[in-house]
Structure 1
């Protein structure tokens, strides 16, 4: 099987941001008299900025528009992240390895496009990604497949030959619904999410603590061929 493109989720996958998002989202929710605890947080991981703001607006019957809430949420997050956020070292190694092989790469995230751009700049990942896609650009957020199918179209890649990296159960569900293969590196492995994560093609059950670029590259070598027009599933069967 060919590998034509790699698509990464951003927060909790490429960059160590979930703790920062928890901090900023707690401040965001508390502004409206709400409580943002660990249980609520686990339900919201991978939800995306727009649906999260819609949820908060409905939950607390807010007079602010969704657009106003998105701007406030983004501002609080970037204020929290500046000077503190970093790329996961093993993910950076993996991105660099893909870059050497000239594999097309994209970011497909539930964050706002402006946030995606700034976070990539802050973490030094910006030079590796020219294809940036936000759920703002599609009708339905994850777990719907829209963002991944949109990314594949922009990359001119067959979804079946795309590989996705995700940290949330919503993201894994979206990638599989798009007909793509997925590597899951769970930020939180809840009882509710275990079944969905188990459907991933490659799962790191311990999350980023057990993730290595070498393990992923070894798995790719045994499951993909990088040759032109190759239809063999196992790399070792390729005549090249």
Structure 2
């Protein structure tokens, strides 16, 4: 994996949501695939994986190309109903997220969410998962003009926390999110979930780690290395 140490001391940490904090990417894909099958479409897994980390507009376009606009509307309507039931029950946490949030809170480090999900659903998911009170700011695709990989949402998160983007650490799972964080002048750590980084992603030069626990230990080593005052 890339890099063994953080090159700076973060003043804030910004979190992606789906696939990073919540094990929701698998649930979303399962609901989409089930809805498509109910409509008679047996679509390849690679199609669903290609949607990971992208905005709703991009996902709609990909589905339009696969089944047509009218069928896409039916598939999405059904998949949303299936996914609502998952969200209401509380999407499971990704391993290590509670330990990471506990660690940051204990150190007094501000925290924000920057998610491609629209605001109403993002708030519902975070609340059902018990994570909403853990953050100082929630930034969603509803709040910006341009979605990831544009930097807008990460710049908004930094502004919401009152921290310079260059002093923000970003935790992401998707290449799209990593590119957005880099475009914002932030320092991303990628913790891949469903998509393993290819050579093009690795060439971006950011930190890639296997788990949130590894990211927490990396951050802890950096913070503990700070000179005492």
Pick the TM interval, shorter chain: 0.7 to 0.9
Distance (whole Å) between structure 2 residues aligned to residue 91 and residue 197 of structure 1: 24
The answer to whether the 8 A contact 1:184-1:197 is kept is no
Tell me the equivalent position of 1:23: 30
Relative distance call for 1:169 and 1:47 in structure 2 (3 A) is: same
Question: Is the aligned partner of 1:53 residue 2:47?
Answer: no
Identify unmatched segments of 5+ residues in structure 2: 1-7
Instruction: Describe the superposition over 1:148-196 as per-residue Cα deviations: whole angstroms up to 9, x where unpaired.
Output: 11211222211101111111111111111111111111113447x3431
Distance (whole Å) between structure 2 residues aligned to residue 71 and residue 110 of structure 1: 19
Relative distance call for 1:19 and 1:239 in structure 2 (3 A) is: closer
For the residue of structure 2 that corresponds to 1:10, the secondary structure is coil
Alignment of 1:23-172 (within 5 A): 23-30=30-37, 34-57=41-64, 60-63=67-70, 74-83=80-89, 85-172=91-178
Identify unmatched segments of 5+ residues in structure 1: 226-234
Tell me the equivalent position of 2:200: 195
Relative distance call for 1:124 and 1:132 in structure 2 (3 A) is: same
The answer to whether the 8 A contact 1:135-1:141 is kept is yes
Distance (whole Å) between structure 2 residues aligned to residue 50 and residue 174 of structure 1: 16
The answer to whether the 8 A contact 1:32-1:60 is kept is no
Question: Is the aligned partner of 1:178 residue 2:177?
Answer: no
The answer to whether the 8 A contact 2:95-2:212 is kept is no
Tell me the equivalent position of 1:7: 14
The answer to whether the 8 A contact 1:87-1:125 is kept is no
Structure 1 length-normalised TM: 0.78
Once the 2 structures are TM-superposed, how far is the Cα of residue 126 of structure 1 from its aligned partner? 1.7
Alignment of 1:201-220 (within 5 A): 201-204=206-209, 207=210, 211-213=211-213, 215-220=214-219
Q: Which runs of 4+ in 1 moved over 3 A?
A: 27-36, 57-61, 63-66, 68-76, 197-201, 221-225
Once the 2 structures are TM-superposed, how far is the Cα of residue 82 of structure 1 from its aligned partner? 3.3
Instruction: Describe the superposition over 1:10-45 as per-residue Cα deviations: whole angstroms up to 9, x where unpaired.
Output: 111001112101111224445665444221122111
Tell me the equivalent position of 2:4: none
Once the 2 structures are TM-superposed, how far is the Cα of residue 72 of structure 1 from its aligned partner? 6.1
